[in-house]
């Protein structure tokens, strides 16, 4: 089989020019357009599940990074006693974090079990390709699709399923994750990195109602979520599952918003972000209290915390925190009274407010 035919089967576009079509003469190609056909070292991607992040990339040269994903449909709990039929990559929502280097060729293997009920695909927001590769990666049950693209632009990007009956349904059922394309020079060193994705669930039952529930297209169309959660589940980073760091650690949050509908107002209570990479790109802002993340977008936020304690992070569209868009960061270390005193006094104050005695129906306020 000719190289061109093989490339078409894999969803790879080979560089060509009109001179090749005319007389088979050798074409001049750019550095970017030859990457997919170049001889590169092959490495298998380190894939991690939230809130964990793969190690930074130390390579100084591009590689062919093999990413193996499997579409798995499975029942899991959104919260205790509330079951939902998730659609996932590699059995988790969010899907694995993928970390590559600018200029790498990303070779994606998407497998779909023979007993799957649906076709699945992947739209990589990081890919310069029709539908983000969703056409090339569309995979029927019992098949494995392979395609490749070059990671041309550094940044933090969402990826998600986009197969029939549409991206909205597949995202709404849990098929999404983040890919970091590190700049060639790498990111500044930090002590801790965490992976967080916000999303909404729309079900045929009310919040907290026990049992097995299914996706509600009607609620999704009206943008009325029952749950707005971090990392696919209510309370996923609370209690024993809270994130942990030490005083003085430089902390980096890779935060995505899969939507499918709502914009996130991401906020860390108790410490402004030192640096925010706006929408996951190269533009930086500093000393940011709350950063907007559009549906289908991402951001990188960094903070160094100097006072120990419990720090809540949430979607500051504040009623969503009660629906699950809330997590906890536990920072351990010595107290720092030069920055924060804690409570110094708790004394009586007996002045009366004359308006407080006026009876008003709370529900009329």
- Binding site membership for Cu cation: which residues? 120, 125, 160-161, 170, 175, 316
CA distance linking residue 363 with residue 180, whole number of Å: 48
Which residue ranges make up the annotated binding site? 120, 125, 160-161, 170, 175, 316
Q: Give the CA radius of gyration of the chain.
A: 24
CB atoms within 10 A of CB 204: 15
**What SS3 state is found at 248?**
coil
Q: What is the DSSP string of 188-217?
A: PP-SEEEEEEEEEE-BSS-TT--EEE-B-H
Beta strand 155-160 pairing with 123-124: antiparallel
For CA atoms 9, 149, 253, 291, give the dihedral sign: negative
How long, in residues, is the chain?
365
Rounded-to-integer distance, Cα 51 and Cα 195, Å: 4
């Amino acid at each position: 089989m000719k190289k061109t035919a093989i490339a078409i089967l894999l969803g790879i576009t080979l560089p060509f020019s009109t001179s090749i079509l005319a007389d088979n003469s050798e074409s001049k190609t750019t550095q970017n357009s030859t990457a997919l056909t170049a001889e590169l070292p092959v490495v298998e991607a380190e894939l991690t599940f939230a809130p964990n992040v793969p190690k930074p990339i130390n390579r100084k040269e591009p590689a062919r990074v093999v990413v193996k994903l499997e579409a798995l449909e499975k029942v899991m709990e959104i919260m205790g006693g509330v079951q939902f039929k998730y659609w996932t990559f590699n059995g988790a929502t969010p899907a694995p974090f993928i970390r590559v280097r600018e200029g790498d060729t990303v070779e994606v293997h998407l497998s779909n079990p023979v007993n799957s009920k649906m076709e699945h695909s992947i739209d990589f927001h990081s890919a310069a390709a029709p539908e983000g590769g969703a056409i090339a990666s569309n995979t029927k049950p019992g098949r494995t699709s392979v395609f490749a693209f070059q990671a041309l632009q550094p940044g933090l990007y969402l990826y998600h399923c986009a197969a029939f009956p549409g991206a909205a349904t597949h995202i709404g059922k849990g098929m999404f994750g983040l890919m970091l394309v590190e700049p060639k020079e790498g990111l500044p060193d930090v002590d801790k990195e965490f992976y967080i994705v916000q999303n909404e669930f729309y079900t045929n039952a009310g919040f907290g109602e026990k049992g097995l529930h299914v996706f509600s297209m009607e609620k999704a169309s009206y943008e009325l979520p029952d749950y707005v959660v971090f990392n696919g589940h209510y309370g996923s980073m609370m209690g024993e599952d809270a994130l942990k760091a030490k005083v003085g650690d430089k902390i980096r949050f890779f935060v995505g918003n899969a939507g499918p509908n709502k914009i996130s107002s991401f906020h860390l209570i108790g410490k402004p972000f030192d640096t925010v990479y706006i929408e996951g790109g190269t533009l930086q802002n500093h000393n940011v209290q709350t950063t907007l993340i559009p549906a289908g977008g991402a951001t990188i936020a960094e903070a160094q915390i100097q006072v120990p304690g419990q720090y809540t992070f949430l979607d500051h569209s504040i009623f969503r925190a009660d629906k699950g868009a809330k997590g906890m960061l536990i920072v351990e270390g010595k107290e720092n009274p030069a920055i924060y005193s804690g409570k110094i006094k708790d004394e009586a104050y007996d002045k009366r407010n004359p308006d407080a005695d006026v009876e008003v129906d709370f529900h009329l306020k």
